[in-house]
Amino acid sequence: MGFEEVIWAFSLTLLAGLATGVGSLLAFFTSRTNTKFLSWALGFSAGVMIYVSMVDIFVKAQESLVAELGERNGSWLTVLSFFGGILLIALIDKFIPKQGNPHELKKVEDMKKKTKTDDELLKMGMFTAVAITIHNFPEGIATFTAALQDPALGVVIAIAVAIHNIPEGIAVSVPIYFATGDKKKAFKLSFLSGLAEPVGAIIAFLFLMPFLSEVTFGIIFGAVAGIMVFISLDELLPAARKYDETHTPIYGLITGMAVMALSLLLFI
């Protein structure tokens, strides 16, 4: 593993995290939320994550573990790692305060109605920022380790994560802006919450990379697959359906799977 590979993986993780700032900017410069686009984009992101997790990442994890531990033990550890990743992200979600849930959808035009007081809006935005910060740590680890092992795969995962970070940026910035009237403060908090992903990458580099072997790689990749499947099924698809209850989310899902399938074929 060379210095260039590490910088590349970290850069991808940083860009994915900064997409929360994109969501913040969209909120400031639009009068209405483009729910159909967000619905399609979230479905697309879910399609990419589900397909790459089950078709590529899980398989690579299993190949590494089977090669080191044998067919039976390697297969068992792959499955345990997969569900361990699901358990990790599920526990993080469980302990996030409900009022700060980053996937509780918010629209620009709804916030302008001022149905809540300034203090309530500010509290909502702050809770959401904290929740996203916590939530983005495992996503940062997932993006970083994937990019480190397979740069092309890292690009696709970073794009999928970035897309799903856009509505999170809206969720942070809009309530803070309408509570304070300060766009700079709202953007800064949204921007900073996204930096949790590169921090997750740094943690992965400092604490996981020194012990990286075929076994640890297989366990990490199995957990990454579980994390991304959980995020897709528990967060992205329900959010996509709330933004648009027509067939838009499923069209995005299928498109995401098709793009992921094509990109994997091109890199064979």
Question: What's the pLDDT tens digit per position in 193-204?
Answer: 888 888 888 887
Return d(Cα 240, Cα 105) in angstroms, integer.
10
pLDDT at 212 over 90: no
Q: What is the pLDDT of residue 166?
A: 78
What CA–CA distances, in Å, run from 259 to 14, 52, 141, 208? 23, 10, 23, 31
Model confidence at 106, in pLDDT bands (50, 70, 90)? low
Return d(Cα 65, Cα 242) in angstroms, integer.
39
Q: What is the pLDDT of residue 226?
A: 92
pLDDT at 69 over 60: yes
Q: Which residue has the higher pLDDT, 200 or 54?
A: 54
Indicate the burial class of 204 (C-beta count within 10 angstroms; 0-12, 13-18, 19 or more). Answer: buried
Residues in the chain: 268
Most confident by average pLDDT, 41-50, 79-88, 122-131, 254-263: 79-88
Q: What is the pLDDT of residue 134?
A: 74
Task: Give me the mean pLDDT over the 165-184 stretch.
Answer: 76
Model confidence at 30, in pLDDT bands (50, 70, 90)? low
pTM of the predicted model, to two decimals?
0.72
Task: Give me the mean pLDDT over the 163-174 stretch.
Answer: 75
pLDDT at 100 over 50: no
